[in-house]
Protein backbone atom coordinates (compact mmCIF):
# COMPACT_ATOMS: atom_id res chain seq x y z
CA UNK A 1 0.00 0.00 0.00
CA UNK A 2 1.14 3.56 -0.71
CA UNK A 3 -0.77 5.40 1.99
CA UNK A 4 1.69 8.27 2.16
CA UNK A 5 2.06 9.27 -1.48
CA UNK A 6 2.64 13.04 -1.75
CA UNK A 7 2.89 13.33 2.04
CA UNK A 8 5.70 14.72 4.16
CA UNK A 9 6.56 13.02 7.45
CA UNK A 10 8.92 14.10 10.22
CA UNK A 11 10.35 11.24 12.28
CA UNK A 12 12.39 11.99 15.40
CA UNK A 13 14.74 9.47 16.96
CA UNK A 14 15.32 8.14 13.44
CA UNK A 15 18.94 7.07 13.89
CA UNK A 16 18.07 3.62 15.19
CA UNK A 17 15.43 1.27 16.55
CA UNK A 18 11.76 2.18 16.28
CA UNK A 19 12.54 5.54 14.66
CA UNK A 20 14.58 3.92 11.91
CA UNK A 21 11.93 1.26 11.34
CA UNK A 22 9.25 3.97 11.17
CA UNK A 23 11.23 6.00 8.64
CA UNK A 24 11.65 2.92 6.48
CA UNK A 25 7.96 2.01 6.72
CA UNK A 26 6.70 5.49 5.83
CA UNK A 27 9.23 5.86 3.01
CA UNK A 28 8.24 2.47 1.62
CA UNK A 29 4.64 3.69 1.53
CA UNK A 30 5.54 6.79 -0.47
CA UNK A 31 6.33 9.47 2.11
CA UNK A 32 9.00 12.12 1.85
CA UNK A 33 10.70 11.63 5.22
CA UNK A 34 12.46 14.30 7.26
CA UNK A 35 14.57 12.65 9.94
CA UNK A 36 15.88 14.07 13.20
CA UNK A 37 18.16 12.68 15.89
CA UNK A 38 21.23 13.67 17.91
CA UNK A 39 23.22 10.86 16.28
CA UNK A 40 24.25 12.15 12.86
CA UNK A 41 26.11 8.96 11.92
CA UNK A 42 23.06 6.90 12.80
CA UNK A 43 20.88 9.18 10.68
CA UNK A 44 23.20 8.65 7.71
CA UNK A 45 22.93 4.90 8.25
CA UNK A 46 19.14 5.15 8.26
CA UNK A 47 19.17 7.17 5.05
CA UNK A 48 21.28 4.48 3.39
CA UNK A 49 18.55 1.92 4.06
CA UNK A 50 15.74 3.94 2.45
CA UNK A 51 14.38 3.04 -1.00
CA UNK A 52 14.65 6.51 -2.57
CA UNK A 53 17.30 8.78 -1.11
CA UNK A 54 16.06 11.73 -3.16
CA UNK A 55 12.97 11.74 -0.94
CA UNK A 56 14.71 12.14 2.40
CA UNK A 57 16.13 15.02 4.45
CA UNK A 58 17.83 14.79 7.80
CA UNK A 59 19.29 16.90 10.56
CA UNK A 60 21.19 16.23 13.77
CA UNK A 61 19.75 18.22 16.66
CA UNK A 62 18.90 18.19 20.35
CA UNK A 63 15.12 17.96 20.59
CA UNK A 64 15.17 19.36 24.13
CA UNK A 65 16.34 22.72 22.68
CA UNK A 66 13.25 24.56 21.44
CA UNK A 67 15.12 26.87 19.08
CA UNK A 68 16.68 23.89 17.26
CA UNK A 69 13.29 22.23 16.87
CA UNK A 70 11.67 25.43 15.61
CA UNK A 71 14.40 25.81 12.97
CA UNK A 72 14.11 22.16 11.94
CA UNK A 73 10.35 22.35 11.40
CA UNK A 74 10.66 25.65 9.54
CA UNK A 75 13.31 24.21 7.23
CA UNK A 76 11.25 21.11 6.44
CA UNK A 77 8.28 23.32 5.61
CA UNK A 78 10.42 25.61 3.46
CA UNK A 79 11.71 22.63 1.51
CA UNK A 80 8.46 20.69 1.14
CA UNK A 81 5.66 23.23 1.49
CA UNK A 82 3.68 21.09 3.92
CA UNK A 83 3.94 18.70 6.87
CA UNK A 84 1.44 15.86 7.01
CA UNK A 85 2.82 13.51 9.66
CA UNK A 86 4.86 13.98 12.82
CA UNK A 87 6.22 10.94 14.63
CA UNK A 88 7.56 11.99 18.04
CA UNK A 89 9.68 8.93 18.62
CA UNK A 90 12.91 10.26 20.15
CA UNK A 91 13.47 9.38 23.76
CA UNK A 92 15.98 8.23 26.35
CA UNK A 93 15.75 5.76 29.22
CA UNK A 94 18.43 7.44 31.28
CA UNK A 95 19.65 4.17 32.76
CA UNK A 96 18.24 5.12 36.16
CA UNK A 97 16.35 2.40 38.06
CA UNK A 98 16.95 3.87 41.51
CA UNK A 99 14.18 4.04 44.08
CA UNK A 100 12.39 7.34 44.47
CA UNK A 101 14.22 7.89 47.78
CA UNK A 102 17.55 7.76 45.92
CA UNK A 103 16.51 9.77 42.90
CA UNK A 104 18.93 12.02 41.01
CA UNK A 105 17.23 15.29 40.14
CA UNK A 106 19.53 15.94 37.19
CA UNK A 107 18.61 12.57 35.66
CA UNK A 108 14.92 13.39 36.02
CA UNK A 109 15.38 16.79 34.41
CA UNK A 110 17.26 15.35 31.44
CA UNK A 111 14.74 12.56 30.83
CA UNK A 112 11.80 14.92 31.05
CA UNK A 113 13.55 17.48 28.82
CA UNK A 114 13.97 14.91 26.05
CA UNK A 115 10.99 12.59 26.41
CA UNK A 116 8.24 15.09 27.08
CA UNK A 117 9.54 18.54 26.16
CA UNK A 118 11.00 17.26 22.89
CA UNK A 119 7.54 16.05 21.90
CA UNK A 120 6.01 19.32 23.10
CA UNK A 121 8.43 21.38 20.99
CA UNK A 122 7.88 19.40 17.78
CA UNK A 123 4.12 19.30 18.29
CA UNK A 124 3.99 23.05 18.92
CA UNK A 125 5.64 24.01 15.64
CA UNK A 126 4.48 21.21 13.34
CA UNK A 127 0.86 21.51 14.53
CA UNK A 128 0.76 25.18 13.58
CA UNK A 129 1.44 24.18 9.98
CA UNK A 130 -1.02 21.29 10.14
CA UNK A 131 -3.75 23.59 11.47
CA UNK A 132 -3.20 25.95 8.54
CA UNK A 133 -3.56 22.94 6.23
CA UNK A 134 -6.61 21.66 8.12
CA UNK A 135 -5.03 18.21 8.07
CA UNK A 136 -2.31 16.27 9.79
CA UNK A 137 -1.50 13.33 12.04
CA UNK A 138 0.81 13.23 15.03
CA UNK A 139 1.90 9.93 16.58
CA UNK A 140 3.79 9.96 19.86
CA UNK A 141 5.85 7.03 21.10
CA UNK A 142 4.97 6.47 24.74
CA UNK A 143 5.48 3.12 26.52
CA UNK A 144 3.74 0.50 28.61
CA UNK A 145 5.90 2.04 31.36
CA UNK A 146 3.59 5.04 31.17
CA UNK A 147 0.55 2.80 31.76
CA UNK A 148 1.70 0.74 34.73
CA UNK A 149 4.77 0.34 36.90
CA UNK A 150 7.46 -2.29 36.48
CA UNK A 151 8.45 -1.55 32.89
CA UNK A 152 10.95 1.24 33.49
CA UNK A 153 12.61 3.52 36.00
CA UNK A 154 10.68 6.20 37.87
CA UNK A 155 11.70 9.15 35.70
CA UNK A 156 11.28 7.28 32.43
CA UNK A 157 7.87 5.95 33.44
CA UNK A 158 6.69 9.40 34.56
CA UNK A 159 7.85 10.92 31.26
CA UNK A 160 5.95 8.34 29.23
CA UNK A 161 2.80 8.84 31.30
CA UNK A 162 3.17 12.53 30.46
CA UNK A 163 3.45 11.68 26.76
CA UNK A 164 0.16 9.76 26.98
CA UNK A 165 -1.57 12.71 28.63
CA UNK A 166 -0.02 15.15 26.14
CA UNK A 167 -1.50 12.98 23.41
CA UNK A 168 -4.98 13.38 24.85
CA UNK A 169 -4.80 17.07 25.64
CA UNK A 170 -3.26 18.05 22.29
CA UNK A 171 -5.82 15.91 20.46
CA UNK A 172 -8.50 18.00 22.14
CA UNK A 173 -6.70 21.23 21.20
CA UNK A 174 -6.21 20.32 17.55
CA UNK A 175 -9.26 18.30 16.58
CA UNK A 176 -11.25 21.22 15.20
CA UNK A 177 -8.53 21.71 12.57
CA UNK A 178 -8.69 18.04 11.51
CA UNK A 179 -5.36 17.30 13.14
CA UNK A 180 -5.28 13.94 14.88
CA UNK A 181 -2.95 13.00 17.76
CA UNK A 182 -2.41 9.45 18.96
CA UNK A 183 0.27 7.42 20.72
CA UNK A 184 1.71 3.95 20.63
CA UNK A 185 2.80 2.27 23.86
CA UNK A 186 5.45 -0.30 22.99
CA UNK A 187 6.15 -3.22 25.25
CA UNK A 188 9.55 -4.89 25.37
CA UNK A 189 11.23 -4.23 22.02
CA UNK A 190 14.86 -4.99 21.22
CA UNK A 191 16.45 -1.65 20.34
CA UNK A 192 19.60 0.24 21.23
CA UNK A 193 17.80 1.82 24.19
CA UNK A 194 16.73 -1.54 25.63
CA UNK A 195 20.06 -3.24 24.91
CA UNK A 196 21.10 -3.28 28.62
CA UNK A 197 17.98 -5.30 29.49
CA UNK A 198 18.76 -7.87 26.81
CA UNK A 199 22.45 -7.98 27.73
CA UNK A 200 21.68 -8.61 31.42
CA UNK A 201 19.22 -11.37 30.57
CA UNK A 202 21.64 -13.06 28.19
CA UNK A 203 24.52 -12.78 30.66
CA UNK A 204 22.32 -14.47 33.26
CA UNK A 205 21.25 -17.14 30.75
CA UNK A 206 17.68 -15.91 30.97
CA UNK A 207 17.18 -14.94 27.33
CA UNK A 208 14.22 -17.31 27.14
CA UNK A 209 12.52 -15.21 29.82
CA UNK A 210 12.54 -12.03 27.71
CA UNK A 211 8.94 -11.20 26.94
CA UNK A 212 7.69 -14.29 28.75
CA UNK A 213 5.17 -12.28 30.76
CA UNK A 214 3.49 -11.07 27.58
CA UNK A 215 0.50 -13.07 26.42
CA UNK A 216 2.28 -13.71 23.10
CA UNK A 217 5.26 -15.06 25.08
CA UNK A 218 7.89 -13.07 23.19
CA UNK A 219 9.41 -9.63 22.86
CA UNK A 220 8.63 -7.41 19.88
CA UNK A 221 10.48 -6.04 16.88
CA UNK A 222 10.82 -2.36 15.90
CA UNK A 223 9.01 -3.10 12.64
CA UNK A 224 5.91 -4.16 14.58
CA UNK A 225 5.77 -0.79 16.32
CA UNK A 226 6.41 1.00 13.02
CA UNK A 227 3.42 -0.78 11.50
CA UNK A 228 1.17 0.54 14.27
CA UNK A 229 2.59 4.03 13.90
CA UNK A 230 1.97 3.93 10.14
CA UNK A 231 -1.65 2.90 10.76
CA UNK A 232 -2.29 5.75 13.20
CA UNK A 233 -0.60 8.24 10.87
CA UNK A 234 -2.58 7.10 7.83
CA UNK A 235 -6.10 7.83 6.63
CA UNK A 236 -7.00 4.30 7.74
CA UNK A 237 -7.20 5.86 11.22
CA UNK A 238 -9.08 8.96 10.07
CA UNK A 239 -11.58 8.77 12.97
CA UNK A 240 -9.04 7.89 15.66
CA UNK A 241 -7.61 10.61 17.87
CA UNK A 242 -6.58 11.05 21.50
CA UNK A 243 -5.82 7.35 21.93
CA UNK A 244 -2.84 5.48 23.37
CA UNK A 245 -2.50 2.08 21.70
CA UNK A 246 -0.48 -0.59 23.54
CA UNK A 247 1.61 -2.64 21.13
CA UNK A 248 2.95 -4.99 23.73
CA UNK A 249 2.06 -8.61 23.05
CA UNK A 250 -0.78 -8.38 25.57
CA UNK A 251 1.44 -7.25 28.42
CA UNK A 252 -0.93 -4.58 29.74
CA UNK A 253 -3.90 -6.92 29.42
CA UNK A 254 -2.54 -9.21 32.12
CA UNK A 255 -1.57 -8.93 35.77
CA UNK A 256 2.21 -8.74 36.15
CA UNK A 257 3.09 -9.52 39.74
CA UNK A 258 6.09 -7.96 41.54
CA UNK A 259 9.31 -9.70 40.70
CA UNK A 260 7.90 -11.46 37.65
CA UNK A 261 9.50 -9.25 35.01
CA UNK A 262 13.00 -9.95 33.73
Q: 30, 6 in Cβ contact below 8 A? A: yes
Helix (H, G, I), strand (E, B) or coil at 261: coil
Enter the DSSP assignment of 220. Answer: B
Q: At what angle do helices 105-115 and 117-133 cross, to 10 degrees?
A: 20
What order do you get walking across the sheet with 136-141 strand by strand?
Answer: 56-60, 32-37, 8-12, 85-88, 136-141, 179-186, 244-247
User: Of 149, 137, 168, whose CA–CA distance to 260 is shortest?
Assistant: 149
State the catalytic residue, choosing from 58, 97, 125, 156.
Answer: 156
Paired with 120 in beta bridges are: none
Could you give the CA distance from residue 103 to residue 97 in angstroms, rounded to a whole number?
9
Q: 228, 131 in Cβ contact below 8 A? A: no
* 97 counts as catalytic: no
Q: 137, 180 in Cβ contact below 8 A? A: yes
Known catalytic residues? 156
Amino acid sequence: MMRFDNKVAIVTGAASGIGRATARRLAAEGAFVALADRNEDGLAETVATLPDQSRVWYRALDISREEEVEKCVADVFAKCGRIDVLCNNAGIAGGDYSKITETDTEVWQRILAVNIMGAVHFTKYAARIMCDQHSGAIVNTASVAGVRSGAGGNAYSASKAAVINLTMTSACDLGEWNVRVNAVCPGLIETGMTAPVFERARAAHKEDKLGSRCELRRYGRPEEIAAAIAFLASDDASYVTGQALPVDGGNTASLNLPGMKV
